[in-house]
Amino acid sequence: MHKKYINYIVVLAVVALLFLFPQIIKNPYYIRVWTNTFYLIVLTVSLRMILMTGQVSIAHYAFMGIGAYTSALLVTKVHWNFWLTLPLSGITAAVVAIGLGYVTLRIKGSYFAIATVALGEVIRMVWVEWKGFFGGMNGIMGIPSPSPIGGLSFGSMPSYYYFALLLMLFALAILYRMDNSRYGMTFRSIALADNLAESAGINIMNYKVFAFAAACFFAGLAGAFYSSLQHYISPMDFTVFESIMLIVFLVVGGRGNILGPILGPAVLSWLPVLLEQIPGYKPTVLPIIDGAFLLVVMLFMPEGIIGIQARVRSSINRIRKPEKEPVPSEELA
């Protein structure tokens, strides 16, 4: 059978299993872990879109916060329907990203990364300082559940599970298409050699802003979902530390293709669940394990979890045909 069809079947089987999961395993804790994993995947996969243009953003959670605040304010203050605010949150985050992107994306490399740290903090301080509108450090409380839609009434955990799953599939479908389109190619060319790309007639600024805004659109959607899931948001939910965790997910999963930012959040969200089985385990240890994971991955497998497959294949090939050069690994994204 053609390799492409095998891939399709595997993807369909995984999606089918995920749809059946809450029916088979009724443990609300596990359903909750999956729900969190899904929106983290949306964030990580969209963050990779920015990384494809060669820029690292440490403000991704701040843009998620913009989405969360947009939805929460519209739902609590003017009583809009959540489903109307959902696309609006994404659009608001994207519009802010376009405005800020044209200014900050002129900066390259580590300077941009540090500038986004500052950007994220400034956005957060707007929420903290503008108490009347954004509620200051207390945030916004009593955000209602979304109104029932298509047979899902949002009283129980499984309904959020399906919402998150559909949101993730939507984001993955679009971002996967973008990855394999002219846009994806253009983004990579900018990361590899921006002046060469420019001399080939690519308006690198527009493409960088486009990638940034598209990624922030999905971060905004995830934010709206988060606000309805938690029923409460505050500036402390969208700190630099959370954004850094997304980079951890991305690095541990691998940046080479879209599978990496899916595997990274999945593995690191389920790791604590496994660790809890160990007697005497304290959740406070978790950042040490995450940090150690990060160091080990950077030092010994810089391509992340997805690099393992290529490495195993190349060593098998080497055993089979020792005279042949090892298969080159994935190019960087």
Partner 1 sequence: MGAEQIFQCFVNGIMSGSILILVALGLTMIFGIMHIVNFAHGELYMLGAFCLWIFFAELQVPYILALILSMIIISGLGMVIERFLFKPFRGDLAPSFIISLGLVMLLQTGTLLSFGIEDKAAPTPSGFHGLIHFGGAVLSKERLFVILISAILMAGVWLFIQRTKPGQAMRAVAQDQDAAALQGISIDATASLAMGVGCALAAAAGCLMAPIFYINPYMGAVPIMKAFVVIILGGLGSIGGAFIGGFIIGFVDSFGSTYLSAPIAAMMTFGILILVLIFRPQGLFGHA
The terminus-to-terminus CA distance of the chain in angstroms comes to 29
Binding mask 112-141 for partner 1 (x = CB under 8 A): -xxx-xxx-xx--xx-xx------------
Cβ proximity to partner 1: between 125 and 274 the closer is: 125
Contact 128, 136 (CB under 8 A): yes
Q: Which of 8, 9, 109, 181 binds partner 1 (CB under 8 A)?
A: 109
Distance CA 233, CA 129 (A): 15
The DSSP code for 136 is G
What single letter denotes the amino acid at residue 313?
R
Following CA atoms 172, 173, 174, 176 in sequence, which dihedral angle do they give, to the nearest 10 degrees? 70
192 lies in the binding site for partner 1 (CB under 8 A):
no
Is residue 326 at the binding interface for partner 1, with CB under 8 A as the rule? no
Question: What is the length of the chain?
Answer: 333
Q: Which residue number, 128 or 259, has a Cβ lying nearer to partner 1?
A: 128
Among 107, 174, 267, 310, binds partner 1 (CB under 8 A): 107
- Binders in 48-77 for partner 1, by CB under 8 A: 56
Angle (nearest 5°) at CA 126 between 122 and 128:
110
Number of amino acids touching partner 1 (CB under 8 A)? 38
Q: How many whole angstroms separate alpha carbon 24 and alpha carbon 20?
A: 6
Q: Which of 86, 171, 248, 258 binds partner 1 (CB under 8 A)?
A: 248
Among 24, 78, 278, 288, binds partner 1 (CB under 8 A): 288
8-state DSSP, 58: S
* Contacts to partner 1 by CB under 8 A: 56, 103-104, 106-107, 109-111, 113-115, 117-119, 121-122, 125-126, 128-129, 244, 247-248, 251, 284-288, 290-295, 298-299, 302
